[in-house]
Structures are given as structure tokens and as C-alpha cells.
């Protein structure tokens, strides 16, 4: 096929660096075509592909010249570009199903086999040798060789081969060395089963495909971009491939999932068996070093520590995550330290890293392979089945070849034994034969009686080979050894025949052998798990402040001198309610005009009042809006409760009936669905029997935002005011406490406190012995240090405390008590008023046990175990408690309880708060418990 010179479009340095190896080769080939027109003829001689593509290469430039004799490019593009695209797909970018290799990889491995002598070879030498088979530049060969070496499967490398974790490139080819791994020598090569073809220049032979007896394509993975086609096959675990192959051979079900050298975790719920349309999510492994430092130990597949750090810094610049600095301590293992700013929750920061950085990426696999010189889209399971079937056929072929060799050896051994035992070489007719034909004829006639014993027909070549036996071998001939050799060969043939009849088990044993020999070198590094969907709006840091200019009708984060609304993030939405009953949701911006609505334009009003503005959370069903509005058509007032879960950005909605003149008279936004009581005052009217009425929003059902609401009154309303705050009507709300930032949250970060109702409180116990209760408002601030316990307050819960009482000569005391509600502004203490009293321990076990260890002059005493429940009753937290001992104490520790309350007993105690010593709860801080003698008052000194 004739070829015309084709010149590629020039590429910039940036675009060239981002191209794949296959695309670079394509560009180089286009430029090389202008100076090497003979390349086409050589390519046509190498593979059957050229014969397959000549069918659509019927364009001849000489036949389509215009009047001026110029060639038309239309035909050239239509035919020759298709030829070129087919070549790139079949011979460059997409791996072959047979051996799982691209041509450049196959040629590299073939060259390394030719050079193999057990020692390392310079990579530069391997690249140069491979150029005898690969018709392209040394750069693409070197890159492909480095990529093979970094996969740590087929090539045993030595020197600086780069780092897949940091993305550092390998050293120059003259400095690094390589040789084939033992695994490659075991599974890749067998010249007896290899199909050969001539190289591109006709001087060498190269394999059409290597006889690979392993699903190499799935073990290594492959990625390539061709013309209008791409392949992306993810790597899988070595041992799991062997197990899956064995299961397939035995007709059992199997599943395969990716495994990456870089580790991390993967969600395979949408893997779709590696076919087109599937997707997997890959995450880095992030650990907490402390409350202010996160450590990234493993990076996602396809990312490096450099790209990961860049994405983190960009997210920080955009205000999506708060970090102080990032340190890269990667060496043999990935280690990136992310230092958080003070007040940043580590749990929230981890979610933000997954949501806004490359710590979580999505990969779309595309299992495209070349099968029978055509690109095909298969599943990973199909590739494994085809590979295992191919391995089985190769093993069968090797057995057949070995059997043929044995039969030939057995045939000649039988000939040789008869030739020597019958002393045919001593026959006079043989010795006096006038020529070779006569000698051959004589030997053939002498062998005639024995021919039925032979395994095939005796040929002239067999007889000529007998005549080449040297006299020394004849003199050393041993009949017993000859018979033993023949017996061993017969035994091996019998084993081969048995294996040929049981190829399924032979193939399974082959995979077991490979698994036992090499699988321990390739453990699974990527953890398979299910990822929770992370909502960006919940984990992004609120680094901006939202302001509103009510007078001029502007809203934004740049209005620093105007009214502050609340903290927000750059990706938040804002919901705005207007006095005319309209509302809309818009995005946070630096400055945007919001002082005009469509109804205002229709009614030609100059100004509209904003009654409520706040950050909008999509899908929030707990924020309930309570409103009273006057209908513009009937002048009647309606009351309604509704929520807003999802709207279209910048589209105006109406909470009224939409008639002109409608107006909101009362409006509140309740984050926990609170329903207050309002007082409605009417305009003075002599006909009215009363001038006001009360209405409880708790009597109004929560409906959709488009509902009209319930009729409140048809009388003219003067004003509506709040009469009493209400409780939530939505039931309990789950609350967590984040110890990193000492704040409550509803997002599941930190310690779960329980489900809170409107009358529930949070109990905070400090290490100083003080305690207080708060509501579960997210705006509550707690001490940054010194918190001992945080939990849901239970007034019936019995606590046990041990202290050294400074008012009682620092003797150890134990007390059991319940706590009472008190405000954060005026906390109470269960240790007493003396600041010198020393706190030892606090427990909420129902039947606590203590171990008292003596010290000082009483160290000779054995430690004492104290059952606290029968020792002292439940009293007020202000009571002094009961002295444990007057001896010198070294330490007091809590032991595991020996008994636990029965469920019925626990429920009764929780309901009534009863105790056998309930009558003692009237004790005050001024009445110590020393009236009851200590257990050790009567012990000798």
C-alpha cells in the first residue's frame, strides 16, 4: 500500500507532557512517516493485520487530482486515517487478551529473555536491544519498562526506579538495572508453544503473543488511549486471581475486586465487574495522630503525595477546609501530616478531605481488549475465564509436546536396544555392504520381526541414526539400565496420559502451585468497604460571614459594616423570606441585590422588607417555619406551619395564596420544630366581645409549603406577639458531642449522647468536681479543657465519688448521690466547698467495687476490696459521705463489678429513683457520716 507523508499538528510542551505514552508514540509515528516511507511496507510484512486493513485502503492519490494537479485530502483522511487508527488500536494502545500485554511490553520481555543469564542488565542495554523489535523511539520503550518494573511482578529491578507514592521519576537508564523475575520465567516463556513472526525489518523473529499461563492482564491492570477508544483495566490481587481461577475450573461462583499497590480503601458497590458504565470510589487512609493532626498513610490509586497535597492546599485556599500546614514525610511508606487550625473538628476535617480533595476519587473502569484482531468490551470475569481456558490449552499443549518427545525417545531407545542386543552391527552383510543403501536395507530387514513392538513405523532416518551410534556407547551398553530407562519413560507417558484426561484438575493444581509460591509476596493492600455519602454542605468549614444591608437591599459576605446574619461557607445557600409572602433560595456571594421581588414589581412598590434570612440546608425537615399572613383578597388571616426541603435556585415561591396585597404578620423559624403560643390583638371594634385571643402553633399540623393554612380569624388584626415559647413537636433529636472542638452537633461526629426532647438537658462534669447542665443548642460553648464526662442528664442516676476530704484531715471518703439541674453560670460541686479536697475517681456503676491499697506506715496491710453499695446509701451530692479508713492510703482503684441490676430492677430505679437509704437523702453538707463507725476503727495500730 502506498503512503503519503503526513505531518502532525505541532504540540505545546504542556500538552505533550500530559499525553499518554501511546499518544506520544502516535505523534512520533506521524512525524516519522514523512522521513520513512518504507516503514509501511515493513509493517505490512510483520503481521496479519496489514492484510486485514488493505481492504479499505483502496484510495490512490494519482486518481483524484483536480484540474491543477493537486491531491485532494478528503480521500486521504477517509481511508488512510482509518488505517492508522486501526493500527494504533490493534498494535499500540489496547492490550491483547491472549497474554495481557501491549506490543511494546511484549517486545521488552522477549528481549529480556534473550539477554537473560541470571544477572542484572543495564536498562539502557535492554532498551537498545528491544529497539531491534520495536519500531519506535527509546523513550517510549524506557517508560514502558519502568512502568513494568514499578508493578513489582514481572521484573526484578535494582537501583532508583522512581516512587509510585511520590511520583518521582526513575534514574537514567544507564544507572538502573533489571532482570526477569522468577514468576516471569515460570509463566511467560516456552519457545515450543510460542507462535512467531518476523520483526518489522524482517531480520529477527518475535512472538505474536507470549504463552502466558496466568491472568496477567488482571494482575497488572492496563491503561491506554487510542483513536476514539480507550482501555482502563484495574489491577487485582494475585492470590485472589488464583483462587478465582480454581473456583471457575470447579464450576463455583467467584467475584473479583481491584487491589492497588498504593493501598487505601475502595467501594466496589458499582464496580459492575469492570465493564463500561461501572465506577469505583477510592479513598486514602487517614488516621488521627491527635485532635489537631491528621496523618494520611495510604494514597488513592492514580494519585501521588504531591498531587494530594496540592489538592489539599487548593481546598484550603478556597475556604473548604481549615488547615494550618501540610508536611510530607513520605519515605518507604506514604506519610502526610495535615495540621488543623485550632477549633477545627478532626472528624469533620476527615470528611472534608474526602469531599473536597483527591483523598477520594472516582474511577470508571473500561475493560477493552484485543481479541481475534478486534477490540472487544468484556467483563473482568470474562477475561479471567478466557485466561484460565487459555492456560489450560497451553498446559495441554505442553503435555502433548512432552508426550511426543517421550514417544520419540522411547521409540529410539527400543530400536537401540534391539540393534545392540541382537548385534546387528556385527552382521557380515552389514559390514560388507557396498553402499549406504545396502546397509540400511540390511538393518531394515533384520528389524522386521521386531517392528510390531515399536511405537511407530521405522523410517530411514531412524536407521541412519542407529548407524551413528559410536562403538564406545555400544561397549558400555547395559541391558538393565536400558530397560529401566524405557520403564521410566513409559511411566511418565502414562502419567501424561492421565493428566490429559484430567486437565481441569491439572490446571487447578497449576494455579495452586503458583499461589503457594508467589501469593505471599502480594498480599491485599486495598481494603474493600462501603463508603457513606458525604454531603459537602455538612463538612465544609464556615469560613465566611454573611451580612445584610436591609436599607439598600443587599446581601453578601463583603458587607462587613452591615448587620451580621450568621457564619457560612462559600458553597452555602441562603433562604430569604419577604414581608409580601414570597421567598427564594440563592447562593452565597460577595454582594448581591435582594431588595426586589416579582410581586413588588407588579404592585409597583419601591421597597420590600426582609422578615427572615438564614443559611439554607437542603433536605432539612426539622426546621419548621411558623407564619401568620393576611390574604390580600379576603383580608382574612391564616396560620400555617411548613418546612422547605428543596427548591430551585433564584426562583420565587409564595407562602400566601399569591393575591396582591397579601402580607406576613408573624413569622418564626424553628430549627427543632418548636411550636410557640402567640397573642393576636384585634383592631378596636365595638362589636367585638374581646380584643385578643391566644393560639398555639402546636395545634397546627406541619404541611407542605404550598398549603393555604388554617383560618386564624376574619377580624382585622392589629398586631401579633409571642406569648410563650413552645416545645418541639417533632420528637427527639439525636445529639453528638465532638471532643475535638467541645461542641454539640447533629451530624454524627464524636460521642453519641442520645435522643433529646425539648425538656432534656446535657450534663457536663468537670475534673475539678464541678458539674452543670445545659440545653442541647448547637451554639453552646463548653470548657476547652478539664471536661471529665459529657452525657444526657438523668436526675435518677446514682453516682459514686471517692475523694480525700480536706475538711476531715484528708481522710478518704466515698459518697453516693444523684445530681440536680444547675446552670453553666452557677455550677455546683460534689466535692464540697474546700478547694483543697482532692478528687480520686467517679463512677456510675450501680454496684461499684473499690480496691484500697495502703501505704506509708500501713503498707504492711493487705489491700482491701470494698463493696460500696451496702457500705453507704444514696444521699445528696452536698453530703460529706462516709470515711473509708483512717489508715494511710497509697491509692484507690475501681474494680470490675461482680453483680449487675436486673432489667426490671433497673427500670424501677430509673422510674422512682428509690433506694433502701432514701431517707438519708435529707442530709446536708454540714452533717458528716461519721456517726457510723468505719470498718477499720477497731483495728490495732
The grid coordinates listed for 266 are 475502595
Between CA 406 and CA 489 the distance in angstroms is: 6
- Which residue is listed with cell 486514602? 284
Between CA 645 and CA 134 the distance in angstroms is: 62
Candidate list 175, 638, 653, 877, residue with the active-site label:
175
Between CA 799 and CA 805 the distance in angstroms is: 17
Of 255, 260, 221, nearest to 241 by C-alpha is 255
- Which residue is listed with cell 516511507? 37
DSSP class of 656: S
- The H or E element containing residue 593 is strand 592-593
The grid coordinates listed for 616 are 439554607
Between CA 200 and CA 135 the distance in angstroms is: 7
Task: Classify 284 as helix, strand or coil.
Answer: coil
Between CA 865 and CA 863 the distance in angstroms is: 7
Task: Classify 564 as helix, strand or coil.
Answer: strand
Task: Classify 853 as helix, strand or coil.
Answer: strand
Biggest alpha carbon distance in the chain? 157
Task: Classify 686 as helix, strand or coil.
Answer: coil
- Which residue is listed with cell 476490696? 865
Query: What are the backbone angles phi and psi of residue 544, rounded to the nearest 5°?
Result: -110, 165
Instruction: For 150-202, give the DSSP string.
Output: HTTSSEEEES----TTT-PPPPPTTT-EEEE-HHHHHHT--TTS-EEEE-TTS
Catalytic annotation present for 752: no
β-partners of residue 179 are 156
Q: How is the beta sheet containing 864-867 ordered, strand by strand?
A: 864-867, 849-854, 889-895
DSSP class of 657: -
Cβ count within 10 A of residue 620: 14
| Contact assessment for residue 243 and residue 231, using Cβ atoms and an 8 Å cutoff | no
| Contact assessment for residue 325 and residue 339, using Cβ atoms and an 8 Å cutoff | yes
Which residues participate in catalysis according to the annotation? 175
Amino acid at each position: 500500500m502506498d503512503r503519503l507523508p503526513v505531518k502532525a499538528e505541532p504540540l505545546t510542551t504542556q500538552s505533550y507532557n500530559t499525553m499518554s505514552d501511546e499518544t506520544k508514540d502516535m505523534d512520533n509515528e506521524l512525524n516519522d512517516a514523512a522521513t520513512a516511507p518504507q516503514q509501511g511496507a515493513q509493517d505490512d510484512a510483520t503481521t496479519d493485520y496489514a492484510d486485514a486493513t488493505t481492504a479499505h485502503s483502496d484510495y490512490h492519490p494519482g486518481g483524484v487530482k483536480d484540474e491543477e494537479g493537486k491531491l485532494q485530502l478528503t480521500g486521504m483522511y477517509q481511508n488512510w486515517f482509518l488505517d492508522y487508527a486501526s493500527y494504533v488500536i490493534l498494535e499500540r494502545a489496547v492490550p491483547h487478551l491472549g497474554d495481557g500485554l501491549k506490543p511494546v511490553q511484549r517486545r521488552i520481555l522477549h528481549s529480556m529473555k534473550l539477554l537473560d543469564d541470571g544477572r542484572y542488565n543495564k536498562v539502557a542495554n535492554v532498551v537498545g536491544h528491544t529497539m531491534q523489535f520495536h519500531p519506535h523511539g527509546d523513550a517510549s520503550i524506557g517508560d514502558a519498562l519502568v512502568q513494568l518494573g514499578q508493578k513489582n511482578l514481572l521484573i526484578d529491578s535494582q537501583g532508583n526506579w522512581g516512587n509510585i507514592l511520590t511520583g518521582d521519576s526513575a534514574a537514567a537508564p544507564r544507572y538502573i538495572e533489571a532482570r526477569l523475575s522468577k514468576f516471569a520465567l515460570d509463566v511467560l516463556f516456552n519457545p515450543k508453544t510460542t507462535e512467531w513472526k518476523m520483526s518489522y525489518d524482517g531480520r529477527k523473529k518475535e512472538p505474536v503473543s507470549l504463552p502466558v499461563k496466568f491472568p496477567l492482564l488482571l494482575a497488572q491492570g492496563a491503561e491506554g488511549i487510542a483513536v476514539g477508544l480507550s482501555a482502563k483495566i484495574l489491577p487485582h490481587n494475585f492470590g485472589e486471581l488464583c483462587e478465582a481461577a480454581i473456583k471457575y475450573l470447579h464450576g463455583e461462583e467467584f467475584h473479583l475486586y481491584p487491589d492497588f499497590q498504593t493501598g487505601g480503601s475502595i467501594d466496589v458497590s458499582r464496580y459492575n465487574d469492570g465493564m463500561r458504565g461501572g465506577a469505583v470510589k477510592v479513598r486514602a487512609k487517614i488516621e488521627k495522630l491527635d485532635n489537631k493532626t491528621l496523618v494520611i498513610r495510604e494514597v488513592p490509586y492514580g494519585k501521588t503525595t504531591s498531587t494530594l497535597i496540592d489538592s489539599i492546599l487548593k481546598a484550603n485556599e478556597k475556604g473548604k477546609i481549615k488547615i494550618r500546614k501540610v508536611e510530607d514525610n513520605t519515605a518507604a511508606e506514604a506519610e502526610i501530616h495535615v495540621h488543623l487550625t485550632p477549633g477545627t473538628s478532626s472528624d469533620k476535617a476527615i470528611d472534608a478531605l474526602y469531599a473536597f480533595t483527591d483523598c477520594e476519587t472516582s474511577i470508571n473502569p473500561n475493560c477493552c481488549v484485543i481479541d481475534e484482531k478486534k477490540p472487544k468490551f468484556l467483563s473482568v470475569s470474562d477475561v479471567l475465564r478466557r485466561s484460565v481456558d487459555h492456560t489450560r490449552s497451553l498446559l495441554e499443549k505442553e503435555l502433548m509436546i512432552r508426550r511426543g518427545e517421550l514417544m520419540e525417545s522411547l521409540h529410539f531407545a527400543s530400536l537401540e536396544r534391539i540393534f545392540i542386543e541382537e548385534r546387528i552391527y556385527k552382521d557380515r552383510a552389514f559390514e560388507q555392504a557396498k553402499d549406504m543403501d545396502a546397509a540400511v536395507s540390511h538393518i531394515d530387514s533384520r528389524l522386521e520381526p521386531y517392528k510390531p513392538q515399536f511405537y511407530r513405523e521405522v523410517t530411514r532416518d531412524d536407521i541412519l541414526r542407529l548407524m551413528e551410534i559410536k562403538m564406545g556407547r555400544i561397549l558400555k551398553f547395559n541391558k538393565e539400565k536400558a530397560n529401566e530407562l524405557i520403564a521410566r519413560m513409559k511411566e511418565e507417558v502414562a502419567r501424561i496420559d492421565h493428566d490429559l484426561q484430567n486437565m481441569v484438575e491439572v490446571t487447578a493444581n497449576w494455579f495452586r502451585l503458583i499461589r503457594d509460591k508467589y501469593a505471599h509476596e502480594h498480599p491485599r493492600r486495598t481494603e474493600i468497604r462501603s463508603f457513606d455519602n458525604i454531603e459537602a454542605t455538612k463538612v465544609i468549614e464556615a469560613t465566611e460571614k454573611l451580612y445584610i444591608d436591609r436599607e439598600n437591599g443587599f446581601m453578601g459576605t463583603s458587607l462587613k459594616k452591615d448587620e451580621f446574619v450568621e457564619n457560612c461557607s462559600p458553597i452555602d445557600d441562603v433562604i430569604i423570606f419577604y414581608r409580601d409572602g414570597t421567598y427564594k433560595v440563592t447562593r452565597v456571594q460577595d454582594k448581591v441585590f435582594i431588595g426586589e421581588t416579582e410581586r413588588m414589581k407588579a404592585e409597583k412598590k419601591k421597597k420590600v422588607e426582609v422578615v427572615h434570612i438564614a443559611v439554607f440546608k437542603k433536605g432539612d425537615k426539622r426546621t419548621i417555619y411558623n407564619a401568620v399572613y393576611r390574604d390580600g383578597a379576603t383580608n382574612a388571616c391564616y396560620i400555617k406551619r411548613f418546612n422547605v426541603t428543596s427548591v430551585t435556585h433564584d426562583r420565587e415561591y409564595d407562602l400566601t395564596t399569591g393575591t396582591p396585597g397579601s402580607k406576613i404578620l408573624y413569622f418564626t423559624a424553628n430549627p427543632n420544630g418548636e411550636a410557640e403560643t402567640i397573642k393576636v390583638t384585634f383592631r378596636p371594634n365595638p362589636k367585638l366581645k374581646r380584643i385578643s385571643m391566644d393560639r398555639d402553633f402546636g395545634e397546627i399540623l406541619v404541611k407542605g409549603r404550598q398549603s393555604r393554612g388554617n383560618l386564624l380569624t376574619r377580624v382585622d388584626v392589629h398586631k401579633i406577639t409571642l406569648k410563650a415559647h413552645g416545645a418541639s413537636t417533632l420528637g427527639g433529636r439525636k445529639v453528638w458531642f465532638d471532643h475535638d472542638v467541645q461542641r454539640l452537633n447533629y451530624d454524627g461526629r464524636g460521642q453519641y449522647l442520645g435522643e433529646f426532647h425539648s425538656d432534656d438537658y446535657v450534663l457536663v462534669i468537670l475534673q475539678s468536681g464541678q458539674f452543670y447542665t445545659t440545653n442541647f443548642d448547637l451554639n453552646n460553648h463548653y470548657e476547652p479543657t478539664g471536661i471529665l464526662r459529657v452525657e444526657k442528664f438523668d436526675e435518677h442516676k446514682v453516682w459514686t465519688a471517692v475523694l480525700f476530704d480536706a475538711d476531715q484531715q484528708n481522710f478518704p471518703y466515698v459518697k453516693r448521690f444523684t445530681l440536680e439541674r444547675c446552670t453553666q453560670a452557677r455550677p455546683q460541686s460534689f466535692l464540697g466547698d474546700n478547694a483543697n479536697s482532692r478528687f480520686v475517681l467517679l463512677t456510675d456503676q450501680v454496684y461499684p467495687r473499690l480496691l484500697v491499697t495502703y501505704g506509708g506506715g500501713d503498707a504492711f496491710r493487705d489491700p482491701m476490696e470494698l463493696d460500696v453499695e451496702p457500705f453507704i446509701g444514696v444521699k445528696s451530692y452536698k453530703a460529706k459521705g462516709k470515711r473509708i479508713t483512717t489508715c494511710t492510703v497509697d491509692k484507690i482503684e475501681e474494680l470490675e463489678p461482680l453483680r449487675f441490676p436486673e432489667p426490671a430492677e433497673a427500670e424501677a430505679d430509673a422510674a422512682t429513683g428509690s433506694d433502701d437509704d432514701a431517707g438519708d437523702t435529707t442530709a446536708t453538707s454540714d452533717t458528716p457520716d461519721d456517726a457510723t463507725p468505719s470498718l477499720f476503727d477497731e483495728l490495732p495500730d
